[in-house]
Amino acid sequence: MCNFRVLVQHADGYVVFCPDCNAFQLAFGTTLLRMRPEYFREFVLAIGRSGALCPETAGNVKNIFIPLEENTTLCLTQSERDKLDRLLREAAALFETFFILDQL
């Protein structure tokens, strides 16, 4: 049974962490991803970098592609990428803060 610690919750999604499973759950839009801390850190960095790699576009053009696993890719608009980036950065900062506090 998971003992989730809610890190961030927005209208578009949430990030929780289960210390018993040592795993994150990221819900965003219609997608739910489960990942280990080391992959979560890489994912946060990849989403952050993706903003610089894609040109600004008007409207709801899904022109940002984030490969996850074999045969799985997130397709995002610039607005979705920005919301996901904010969600992930907040969650990563809170996770690091909780980690430091748990060490005291």
What residue ranges do the domains of the chain occupy? 5-103
List, in order, residues 6 or more apart from 32 with CB less than 8 Å away: 25, 26
Alpha carbons 97 and 62: distance in angstroms, whole number: 33
pLDDT in the model for residue 57: 62
Helix (H) or strand (E) holding 89: helix 78-103
How far is Cα 67 from Cα 57, in angstroms, rounded to an integer?
20
Could you read off the pLDDT of 8-41 as tens digits, one per residue?
999 999 999 999 999 999 999 999 999 999 999 9
87 torsion bin: left (phi>0), alpha (psi -120 to 50), beta (else):
alpha
62-102 pLDDT, tens digit each: 888 888 888 889 998 888 999 999 999 999 999 988 878 77
